[in-house]
Structure 1
Amino acid sequence: MIALVDPVSTGVELARAFREEGADCVHVYAAERKAAYDADPAPRRVLHHDLDGTERRLRELGVGTIMAASEFGVTLADELAERLGLPHHDPALRAARRDKDLMMRALQAAGVPRPDSESVSTATALAAFLDRAPAYPIVVKPRNSAGTDGCTVCPDRTAAETAFARVIGERNLIGEVNESVLVQEFLAGDQYVVNTVSMAGRHLLTEIYGERIDRVDGVPVLRHMLSLRTLSPGEQEVVNYTFACLDALGIKEGAAHTEVMLTPAGPRLVEVNSRVMGPCLDPDPYHAAFGYSHQHLVAERFLRPAEFERRFALGYRPAAAVAKVYLRPAGEGALRSVDGLRLLRRMPGFHSVARLPQTGLPVPDRYLTTGASGIAFLVHEDTALLEHVLESLHELEDAGEFYRLGEPGPS
């Protein structure tokens, strides 16, 4: 029996991957996600109120594996796995896997290079950091959130003070109040996403992507991720550094999704998320490029561990590249039509689209990397061709020719 904790967001796809394998699952929801609990058609569900009661119920069900099925479930899943004596991460570093300030401190304690950063909860503490900050811009962001929520690149002191005042005390995307804020040196370089699945402390590289991030109104906006088919020496260094970060954070079992900046001084961590990649994991484009998806490899690791273990000797050799595009409107307004979709579908490598916004309604927040404004997938053996297509697609978006916007009302 597999227990999936808070299977929302891409956790829905993780649950589907286990069901495809015929696994017997129970879905565990924290009480604050009762709406998701009520809407879940799964035959076995547990609404968590206290650790003792949930532990008792999972023992009764004969649960043999517990894992986080979203960012919400990271801590609870690890607590329950430890209580039941099941595979889990290092409990001493549990808080560091969710708190970006503690995460950076864990890296420092392990001797892993990390960005200069500090957690501040008052304007006085912020001023002290800014007094010694090496250079602008700097980054201000919540200690616990996701999807670039509240993250601002600040070109000067005034912008940093404004960003801090805007975030502190507010409720973030995870539903927690920002009682303190992380201020951090700006990392210049190329940003990568490294996905892994771990087994007894060994880490398997499943995917590595280069990211295009634009700055819009001071907010870093992710435009697309493009997977790498071969690795340069610098990119291999990013992978090795990621594994060192996973070790420093005590990650031993299951999925991790890590963002790393390759700077002139070497790789530096943006953040580690000890769960499958978000926010959209439609499996087919990933299977077309890699022969698997992140969530399907997690299922394989726990359901067919001997088969998974053989992958360590195979190396990273994807058959094609996959691009994941975070579609975005050029401005604010209600969606009238998706004019650019006709062109996109004729572009080389086009595979599919997901989560397109509904016509007649305001387009969701165009700054967050939650995929709320739609996601497009491209798959092709020729990476250079995909890069050309991506540039054309972004030009279409920025010119306002992909999403046609207007005032709210009937189309």
Structure 2
Amino acid sequence: MQKRTIVIVEIVSTGFNYVEDALMRGYQPVVVECTFPGTEEDRAPFLVSREIARGKLPKGVPYIEETSDYAALLERVRAYDPVLVVPGQEFAVELATHLAYDLGLPGNPWSIIGKMTRKNEMHQALADHGLRSIRGKLIHNEEEAIEFYKELNTSHVVVKRARGACTQGMHFCEGYDEMIEAVRTELALSASDEHVGDILMQERIIGKEYIVNTVSCAGKHRLVSMCFYDKLEMNGSNIYNYMESVNRLDVGNSAIVRYAYDVLDAIGIQYGPVHGEYMVDEKGPVLIEINCRPMGAGQTRQYLDKIYGQHETDSALDSYLDPVKFEQERLKPYRPPRKGVVKWFILPNDITLDSAPVLQLVRQLPSYFYGVFERLGREPFLTQTVDLETTGGAVYLVHDDERVVQEDCAFLHRLEMQYPEILFNQSHAEPSAYAPRVPLQEIIQEADCHGTILIFSDTETETTGAVVVGSGELPAAYDSYDNVILDLCRPETFSDTESVFQQIFTFLSKVRIGGRVLIPQSTYCHLPYGDIGMEILLRARGLQIEAPLAGKGKMIIASVCDL
């Protein structure tokens, strides 16, 4: 008997989870491409992500490439006899909704597609239902922009595209000059590229931004996840810093969720997932925009399950295929079991990348789950961060103790702002100051080392009372020493920062709980930022940096604590 199919329009980012969920339910996934709007530059990162996702598809998954012939596409999809057509990405919503409607499948009415995808129509729907909305207007020329700017009577405005993803094409303007410059930029792009579309000007609401992710079944709505963004105004843009899960509703949070449900009703949402972005100021919550698809940010189903006890695409399939289970889950209290944070890496400046020690460093953090660094493999020259597509990558953190996650996130942000070379190395590390090598026996004696001693050295092969290993022997070395000494003195050892970080972290794993790590200046002087760079590695590994011993030179001492 042939399997029934679930058609997924675009599988970039979190949309890929639908593929695995369909297979686990016994359905055959079928993937369809859509057309990405925006300029060629805007579309480029989505096309790269699409190819990466396609490369991960299980063997035998049918794949229909992008086409402008809707009638032919409809018949190709019809031939697979799908039970559902779902959008996996923001720009797929229109095509997926159209296909589902024409095939008579469960979904949202085609008549509301404008309110589902166009920011100006979303807010008009809210106003029509008496809900708080943001004042805005489509702009076709400079004269309209100037007139509406005066009507708004505020210096804080946003110029953006009526359809767009993330922060592409978005301008946060302070005053008339910035407004008119943004309008001219976007109008010129719209005139030269049909994919850019309409330009929207809105008043800017300043507050704290929350995400409310829901799934709906026959007009009933369920909260599946809630989080908030931290953003920074720098590099002429509003840049994502991190996104943190809301695990317990605080005072005022329930009002956001109630308002989100009202928004869904005003738009007319009947089925499936909605990723809603809301700003909260002194007046309460107001919609920024909704996206009628699963939340993105490249979150795997395993990561989401760890945080929320479920993942959105699976819960969305319940809304279509198993309304009884949907209702059971809808009535349960919201209780995410673990704290999660997605931390995006900000590049304060343009860099020419020599190595990426960040790949080794993040793996040491106690809350590390996985990382995504797509740009690092394809672009040696990295432009400064101005939006999500120009970040240096992302790390996904989760832990039972929310303080651990928050501390790890704050630690990474401090590094990217104050010590960026420790993450993204632009050139071979310049030493802080060359220091003469201290004989190993002198280090052992001064540090009063007793018990077992391991020395990782690029210079000596043996010393009395200790085991000395080079890079080749290090991985197989015994892993429970009382004392370990890092004796890397040759500049050529540090020619590849990422590689040497990997070796140092392997070395640090060889000391037992209660044991000590000793690093002389002749080693750490070769690292970016010298002693600070070494202490960053120790902190990432979770070691306790000890107070220096008076009269013992400039040796760094750390210990392994049982926390």
Provide the TM-score with structure 1 as the length reference. Answer: 0.90
Q: Deviation per CA, 1:215-237: give whole Å up to 9, x if none.
A: 11331111111001111231111
Partner of 2:212: 194
Instruction: Calculate percent identity across the aligned residue pairs.
Output: 25
Equivalent of 1:44 in 30, 48, 62:
62
What are the within-5 Å matches in structure 2 for residues 59-208 of structure 1?
59-170=78-189, 177-208=195-226
What one-letter code is carried by the residue in structure 2 that aligns with 1:156? G
Partner of 1:406: 426
The 10-residue stretch of structure 1 (329-338 or 220-229) with the greater mean CA deviation from structure 2: 329-338
Equivalent of 1:308 in 301, 312, 326:
326
> Is the 1:335–1:403 contact (alpha carbons within 8 Å) kept by the matching residues of 2?
no
Question: CA–CA distance in 2 between the matches of 1:138 and 1:280?
Answer: 30
TM superposition shift of 1:29: 2.5
TM superposition shift of 1:371: 7.3
> Is the 1:199–1:252 contact (alpha carbons within 8 Å) kept by the matching residues of 2?
yes
**RMSD value over aligned CA atoms?**
2.8
Question: CA–CA distance in 1 between the matches of 2:208 and 2:61?
Answer: 45
Q: Deviation per CA, 1:111-141: give whole Å up to 9, x if none.
A: 2111122211210011001112232221111
What one-letter code is carried by the residue in structure 1 that aligns with 2:243? M
Partner of 2:517: none
Partner of 1:249: 267
Question: CA–CA distance in 2 between the matches of 1:321 and 1:34?
Answer: 32
Q: 1:42 to 1:197 in 2, by over 3 A?
A: farther
> Is the 2:349–2:384 contact (alpha carbons within 8 Å) kept by the matching residues of 1?
no
TM superposition shift of 1:169: 3.6
Unaligned runs of 5+ in 2: 37-45, 429-494, 497-563
> Is the 1:355–1:371 contact (alpha carbons within 8 Å) kept by the matching residues of 2?
no
Q: Deviation per CA, 1:24-61: give whole Å up to 9, x if none.
A: 12222247899969977654233454443333333332
Partner of 1:217: 235
Partner of 1:3: 7
Q: Secondary structure of the equivalent of 1:345?
A: helix
Higher relative contact order (CA 8 A, sep 6+): 1
2:243 matches 1:239:
no
> Is the 1:99–1:143 contact (alpha carbons within 8 Å) kept by the matching residues of 2?
yes
Question: CA–CA distance in 1 between the matches of 2:275 and 2:384?
Answer: 23
> Is the 1:335–1:357 contact (alpha carbons within 8 Å) kept by the matching residues of 2?
no
Partner of 1:15: 19
Question: CA–CA distance in 2 between the matches of 1:211 and 1:304?
Answer: 32
Q: Deviation per CA, 1:180-221: give whole Å up to 9, x if none.
A: 321111112111011111111111111100110111133111
TM superposition shift of 1:16: 2.7
> Is the 1:349–1:380 contact (alpha carbons within 8 Å) kept by the matching residues of 2?
yes
TM superposition shift of 1:274: 0.3
Question: CA–CA distance in 1 between the matches of 2:123 and 2:173?
Answer: 20
> Is the 1:357–1:373 contact (alpha carbons within 8 Å) kept by the matching residues of 2?
yes
TM superposition shift of 1:246: 1.4
Q: Secondary structure of the equivalent of 2:180?
A: helix
The 10-residue stretch of structure 1 (39-48 or 196-205) with the greater mean CA deviation from structure 2: 39-48
> Is the 2:344–2:392 contact (alpha carbons within 8 Å) kept by the matching residues of 1?
yes
2:371 matches 1:358:
no
Q: Secondary structure of the equivalent of 2:189?
A: coil
What are the within-5 Å matches in structure 2 for residues 318-329 of structure 1?
318-329=336-347
Partner of 1:396: 415
Larger Rg: 2
What are the within-5 Å matches in structure 2 for residues 361-376 of structure 1?
361-363=380-382, 366-370=385-389, 373-376=392-395
Question: CA–CA distance in 1 between the matches of 2:69 and 2:260?
Answer: 34
Unaligned runs of 5+ in 1: none
Number of residue pairs matched by the alignment: 408
Q: 1:15 to 1:176 in 2, by over 3 A?
A: farther
> Is the 2:306–2:338 contact (alpha carbons within 8 Å) kept by the matching residues of 1?
yes
Q: Secondary structure of the equivalent of 2:216?
A: strand
Q: 1:55 to 1:78 in 2, by over 3 A?
A: same
> Is the 1:336–1:403 contact (alpha carbons within 8 Å) kept by the matching residues of 2?
no
What one-letter code is carried by the residue in structure 2 that aligns with 1:79? H
What one-letter code is carried by the residue in structure 2 that aligns with 1:26? V
Q: Secondary structure of the equivalent of 1:168?
A: helix
What one-letter code is carried by the residue in structure 1 that aligns with 2:345? L
What one-letter code is carried by the residue in structure 2 that aligns with 1:351? F
Partner of 2:461: none
The 10-residue stretch of structure 1 (86-95 or 253-262) with the greater mean CA deviation from structure 2: 86-95
> Is the 2:6–2:30 contact (alpha carbons within 8 Å) kept by the matching residues of 1?
yes
The 10-residue stretch of structure 1 (72-81 or 363-372) with the greater mean CA deviation from structure 2: 363-372
Q: Secondary structure of the equivalent of 2:252?
A: helix
> Is the 1:276–1:294 contact (alpha carbons within 8 Å) kept by the matching residues of 2?
yes
TM superposition shift of 1:358: 2.1
Partner of 1:297: 315
Q: Secondary structure of the equivalent of 2:263?
A: helix
Question: CA–CA distance in 2 between the matches of 1:176 and 1:223?
Answer: 32
> Is the 1:66–1:80 contact (alpha carbons within 8 Å) kept by the matching residues of 2?
yes
Question: CA–CA distance in 2 between the matches of 1:268 and 1:34?
Answer: 32
Q: 1:346 to 1:28 in 2, by over 3 A?
A: closer
Partner of 2:29: 25
Question: CA–CA distance in 2 between the matches of 1:298 and 1:365?
Answer: 36
TM superposition shift of 1:152: 1.6
> Is the 2:14–2:299 contact (alpha carbons within 8 Å) kept by the matching residues of 1?
yes
Q: Secondary structure of the equivalent of 2:405?
A: helix
What are the within-5 Å matches in structure 2 for residues 49-60 of structure 1?
49-60=68-79
Q: 1:13 to 1:334 in 2, by over 3 A?
A: farther
